[in-house]
Every structure is written in C-alpha cells, then in structure tokens.
Structure 1
Amino acid sequence: MDWHKNFQSVLLCDVFYRYPIVLSYKSKFFFLRVPYRKKVMSYSVRWLMRRGQYVCSNCVVLLCSIFMFANLFTGVLLLAMHDDLKKQECSISEADAIEYPNCREKMQWMEEGWRTHKCYAFYGVNGTSCSFRIYLSEIEKYCPWMALRLVTSLSSFSIVRFVGLWLMHIPLFMERILSGLFKLMFDNELNYKFIRTRITLLWPKWLSAYDELMIKWPEVVSLQRKLNIIMGFLSREAGFKFGQLSSTGGPLGELVQWSDLIAALYLLGHNLMISTEVRTLKKNIKKIDYKCPCPLQDGEIINLLFTDIVGLRYLRGKMKDFFNRMKCKLRILDSFGTHAEFNSRIYFAAHKNSLGGSRKNPWGGFGRLGPFISNIILIFKDRSSVGYDPLVYGKAGYMWKNAKRLIETVRKFTEVHATVSDNLPDFDNLIINHGVLIGPELHALMRKAKIFLGLGFPFEGPAPLEAIANGVVFINPSFNPPKSRKTSDFFKDKPTLRELTSQNPYAELFIRRPHNSSRVEDAIREALRLQDFCYVSRFPPLHAMITVEAVSMQSCQDACCQHNFLCERSFSRIVNMPEFLNKSGSCATLKSMPIPYECSKQENSDLYSCASVPTILDIRRICPCRDFLQGQTALCSSCL
C-alpha cells in the first residue's frame, strides 16, 4: 500500500469512525427525549462495529483500531451517562461567572433573542436553557463547557485531532516559495516595492528560523487561518506616499514592521488577503455575510484582520457594517503604543489637561477594540563585529540638528560614515556620506561597521535592532528628563503616556544574547492559536498572573518592570474583582472611580491601563504582572 492509499485510508477512518458519534453528539442528540436517545446511541454502537470490519480492511490497521476503540468507548460512555446529562445543571455557577463575566447576560438575551435569526436553530438552539448554554460554550465562547460534554468531546476527538494536526503539518512546508506571496501584492506596485525587496533579502533567514522553530516545537502546528491584511497608510486616500518615498529617504519604520509581519504569517502557512487600496479590500471581503449573528462557516470566515490607525479610521467611517462585525477581530499595528486613556473619547475629553501634550486626540478615540500591536521587529542572530567604526543613525538632515559637537568629538578618533538624503554643509569635512541606501546595500554597510551611533531621533525605529542583528554595537542616547507628551513636541498629540528614557527603549530593556530569530515566530504562532478577543481572553493563561503592589505615584508598568516582570493588561479584570480586592488587603469598602485610589475598582473596563499613574500620594495600585521569555516579551514561561 503506497503513501497516497495510506493517506486516503486514514481519511476514511476519520470519516467512518467519527461520523456516527458526531451526528449524535454535536447536533441535536442531547435535545432528544431519553427513549430516542437510547435508540440513537444503540444504533451508533452497532453501526460502528459493523463498519469497523469493512474499513479496517482498507486502511492502516493500527490507526483504525485506535479510532474504533476510542469512538466505541465514547459511544458506550454517552449511552451510560444519559441520565446524568439530563440532570446536569445548565445554570452558571458563581465561579464560572467570575471567569466568564458575559455568560449570564448572554444567557438572558438568548431567551428571546434566539428567534431573531434562523442560524441559532441551525446550531441546535431550541428555547431551553441547556441549549442556550451549549451554544454559548461550544459554538460561541461566552460560557464554559459543561463538564460531561467536555469529557466526552475530548475522549471522542483527541486522537483524531492529533492525527489531523499531524497531516496538516505537511502543507506548511509548501510556503517556502515567495512567488505565491508576491502574487497577493498586486494593487499598487510602488506600495510593495520596499516590502518585496526586504522579504526577498531576508527570506533565507526566515526559512532558517522556521526550521529552528519546527525542531524546537515539533508537536505544535499552527492551524491555517484566513487573515485579512489592510495597510491603510499606503492607500491613495491617506496621501502619505510611504511607498513612493521608500527609495528616496522616506520613513521606513512602518514598512519594515509590515514586511516582517507578512513574511512570518505567510511562512507559517496562513491564507492571506493583502490590500493597500480600497478597491482591493472590498474585493477581498465581498463574500462575507455581515448580517449573520452566528459564527460564519469556515469558507466565509475571516479569522483576524490586521490593519493600522489609518485603515481603522476608514473601516469605521466608510464600512461601518463590516467594522462592527469585525471589531473584536481587529489587530492594530500601532507604532505609538496607544494607551487606554486615549481610546476612550469621554475620558480623554474630561482629562485632556492632566494628560499633557496636545488637547487634540487625532490618533485615538476608537473605543474597545482588539489589541494594539506595537513594534513588531525581527531580530537576527548575533555575529562578531568587523570593519570600520561608526555609522551614524540619521538619514534626514533635520535629525542632525545640534549633533555637530558630538560628531566632532567622535571624528577625533575615527572616520564617521552616514547615509543622509540631504546635503549637510556643516558636516562635509566630518563625515563620509554614502547617500540613501536600502535593502542589501544598507545591510552590507552595517556589516562593515562596529558602532551604530544614535542622534536621539527617530524614536524606536527598526534600524538599531537591525544593526544589532548584524553584530554592530548601538550607542543608544538616553533622555533625562524622559521624552513624553509633556516634554516633546513629537509626542504631544500621540495617544500614549509612555516616557522614553532612551532613543530605543526596547534595546535598552530587552536585548540580550543570543538574538534569536525564531522567537518572533513563536509569538505570532501562539498569539494566533490562542487569542480570540471576541470573547474573554484565555491568553496569557490566568495561572501566569503575578500581582505586585506599586509604590506611591507609580504606574503598574513601572512597578512590574521593577520586579523584572511585564504588566499584563488582560489580567486587569481579575485584579478588579471585589473578591480579589478583599483578599488582597484590608479593604473596608469598594468604590468605582476612573483613577485608582485606596480600595477602588475600575468600573469602565475600557480604561484598564498599565500606564496610569495615581494623582494622590497615598494611592498604591495592585498590579497584574507576568514574566516573559528572554528575548521575546510577547510570551510568558507558562504560555507555550
């Protein structure tokens, strides 16, 4: 029997041995009266045994035997437990209500709302509280699974799912050829010029990182998802001309981030739809049924939608139905690191004076959305430094303002190289200017340097990390006082309260040896596998939470960092529960206020924030923290 026949046989086993149990278990079996339920299960068991004799003669005997006995055991177990299932409570316990805060509200809505669309009946809802509970736990995820249904589900499908995942591993290796990815980038050649060049240049390193990932985590396979990527900042409507300016000294930070994100998602085997223009976006989503309130079928679904602030504005203003449907599936690639205070219009309007900076909020005010992803940067393996000394980080003339004294000091010891697009008459005798370089030329120049000299701007750009990846030492200027909305014109209208203590805080805090390129794929794979923000997040897991008590006038971001942890905003709902607050100390009373003080809880979950600093000296925040993996802050030690 050759491989193809074996493969077909495994699929036959999957269908024949899972199908009868699925029919009785996943559809309306539990809504039948007991006599009919017994007949269905008895028939399923007998049918399973008869089919076993036929199917196992045409498939891999060992796998078939495993499937047969696993499903036979499940069938007998279901038959024996029907009375217990009938008696099982479908109401929500207090413990479940804490972990699933929206469950009871959804159960109440279903009492009348299940008749509003036929899709609820399609999924087995019939007006009983148990059917509501089953739908809200197994089809949607607002409620916990019922214990007995969880047990029977795991016993029935665990082996089949394991083999299925193993088989799904095979096509992931097919995504090694870039022509398939580049065919998805068709709506504007200029917009994709830099992205294609960068991905092509780094593709061998991506392949190496993927192989390293598969060796390190061979048992974990990322399920294929349908992902819609909308790069709004490149659209004609935005008018920024990032693509056109990419080869003449224009800003590259956003292009670098999107290039690396797209490369990682494609290599991991996901089904991508990419657009930089509105017409392409509308073409990509025309098959989606926005009016269906139930989860869509696999062929019509978009699992996640990646976009930026510009794309978010367009979706909210021009495609409201689609925006409302996809709101919780949005992932915003945000170079600012937007804080909660700026996404709430009401809060910002009431506190804009105390927040400092501009009284306008052009990049915020979007309300509750999926997470904002900031600074997705690829870091490659370190190498020894060879070649000449400093290369200056500053490709535009305005970045060299007030830098002459520094360059003169460095010039006393060595030559100074630069890649500046503008003429710098004050520096003609001080530097060797190579002009604007991109792609291979820039990386070749970096590999010859020993030092990458920062001038203080741009903030948090990708170039320092790429220099480090090429074995270059980055001189990271420190800021005292820190740069923020209150001290820097650049940040005055940005939706963040962060205070930058250096030009590149990421390099300052987290760069450690070895620089590991597979870590970024670990993060993206785990995030796509575990995160679903349409419901209460289960990632990171709750057992990863570590609480820290902040000192007076300290944010949770700083308090967690002081203990070598990261503040985890998704845990804020746990810390904010009265039960937790009562356990944490001597809280005589609980109050709800927008800014944390004494034993108060945050009533507006949109304002959960790691960055908020109390305004009263006596206030000390209880902070939700977690640890992180060395070199990869997106993951915790118990996340994998």
Structure 2
Amino acid sequence: HQYFCFFSLCFLMTSLGGQFSAKRLGDSPFTIRTEVLGGVESRGVLRKISDMLEVILKRMDTLSALDTGLVERIQAIAQNVSNMAIRVEQILQNSIYNFTLFSAVRDGTSSQCEVPRDPRFPECPGKVDWMRARWTSDPCYAFYGVDGSDCSFLIYLSEVEWFCPPLAWRNNSSPPTQLTHQTKAPKRQAAFRTDLSVLLDQVGTGKESLSFMKRRIRRLAQQWATAANRLDSKLEQRWRDQKKILVHVGFLTEESGDVFSPKVLKGGPLGEMVQWADILTALHVLGHNLKISMSVKELQGFLGVPPGRGSCPLTGPLPFDLIYTDYHGLQQMKQHMGLSLKKHKCHIRVIDTFGTEPAYNHEEYATLHGYRTNWGYWNLNARQYMTMFRKDKIIALCYIFML
C-alpha cells in the first residue's frame, strides 16, 4: 500500500506538470482566457493532491518502517507537490483577476476607466475627448496600445504622456514615462584627438557638399592638431566630461531639398558647409562622442522616436547631452519629437549662420510687433545660437558650451 501511495503521488505530479506546463507567468497576457477556463479542472487536480497528501501524512508511522532513503524521497515529493499546489492556486487567482480586468479594458466598460476630474490634471478630460476623435490620426498611438477604448486613452495619457493621473489599478511601481530617471552611465573623461580618420568616415560620402567638407577637414588637420595641443597644455590635464552629441545637418537632408550640394562646384554658397566642417572637427578634436545625421530617418533612429507622424513623445530620456542642428533640422525635430521637443529644447544648439535677433526669437514679442519670419519664434536662450566665427575661435566656443 505504501508503494501504491508513492507511485500514485508520482502519477499525479506527472499529470499536474503536463496540465500546467504551457501556463507560465512569462506567457502572453492574451493566454489568460485559456487559464481561467481551465480553472475548474485545475482545482479538481488540486483537491486530489490535497487528499493524497492527507493519506501520506496518516501513513507516515507505517512508512517509517520502510527504507530510510525511500521515506526521504516521498517526503521531498510531498513538499514539492505542496509548493506546486500553492503556486498553481496563485496563478489561477491572478488569472481570474487579470482576465476580468483585461475584458473590461478591452470592452471599455470598466468603472476604473472613468475620466478623472482631478484639479492637478485639468487638461485630462479635454485630452481624452481629443483622443476619442483623433486617436487614429497617427500610428504612434496604436504603437503604444491605444485601441479606441477609454481605458487605453487613460493609460496612454498617464503613462506615455502626462496629462492624466496614474491609474490606481495599473502597475505603478515605475513612475510615468516623463518622470523616469534611469541610472546614468559613469562619466568618461574627454581626451583630445589629433587623428581625424574616424571623423572623416562618419561624415560619409555621396554628396559633393560632404566631399567639400572632408577636403576642408583634411586641409586644416595640422592646424587643428596644433590648436588641440596648445589648449591641452593650457588646461593642464583638467577633467572634462565626454559628452554624447548628436550633429544633425538639416540643410543637407533630402527632406529639406538639399539645394546646396548640386551648387558646390558651380559657385554656390559654401559658408554653411565651412561652418559645419569646423564645428564637427572641433567637437571631434575635443574628444566628445559624436553621432552624425544627414537624414530624417537617421535622426529618428538616433533619438528613438516612435513610428508615426511625430504626435507621440519620446518614451525615455534624451540619449544625448547636446544636439547641434540648424533651422531645417529644428523644424524636422519639431515634426518628429512631438511634446518632447519642448522638454529637451535646452539641449539644442542652433547653427545660425547669420544670427537671429532676440526680437525674432521671442514668439510672443515677435507676434505682438508683427515680426514675420520663417526661422524665428523658437523661444531659445540667445546663447543657444551659434553664428559665424573665425575658425581659431571655434574650439574655444565649443569648449565653453561643454562646461
């Protein structure tokens, strides 16, 4: 009889393992329905396990007369089955709750998805109304799980954007996206560079404008090396943080029309390319970590922008300490960064060849006084604009911005 108990217990464990092997916590949330529908049968198995455990406990006196090793094996199996029973019960309870909640979210009928009237989030009701009418206007909303239900609107507006309060029934162990603070990588020291080969590879090929910039970089390589060595000796090994810098040359992108490249050898304007070549070289020589973008696709990839038309914000912190761009690039960033541009605007440095007067930069003032322009109204700090400078001042200027 004792052996019968032992092998019956093994049989039940095998049955249990086969029954639940496909239902693990890591499975897709859409498998919840299968787990819940199997709940009655699963509980029947649990009752059989409990009954068998009681029989084992009642027979322990008799079993003690058996071989000690066999008793230990039976006790270990009993403990494993007991632990498994507890775990399965937890899974079933969670599955029932999650399935009920999932159905409510899917159908948009959950009372927990009523639009809140919270004075701390006054824009929430209006944003929900807007989402109801226009959530299909940009694929990025569906990318973040918006499906047309109020629940999905509130989840998006509280966890991706920040217009609604966090939902109490959601897993709020992590703060909303806009407040997320990731552990920063340890600071690295910027070391002066005199080898420009890596930079020349990054600039790329395929356009006469790029060839012009690379020729200038090569031609002035010795002067850059001299300037770097001179500045290095003045700083006397002073620590400088290595910055992560994105350089987006907007006026050379196909999306902006790139009217400059075809005119390089025909007497076209070269001042912008001179300025970009010198700034790229200065940042490289100063020892910073550069990414160079010459298209909107590259810009989106470097910034981690969600797919779509730019209505959704970035979902994480900006991956760069600074972004150097021009007015074409600034406009492209506005189109593809959504609300994130305002949040990260202080990281931007605008290569503004001929300068922008403060009256045109300040949107409210310019509008009030009728200053109309295609390149103003950005409300940047005046020190974020970089105008034409002689090349021997470029390193000093960039260094100031790095501090």
Give TM-score scaled by structure 2 length. Answer: 0.50
Give TM-score scaled by structure 1 length. Answer: 0.32
Higher strand share: 1
Query: Which structure: larger Rg?
Result: 2
Higher helix share: 2
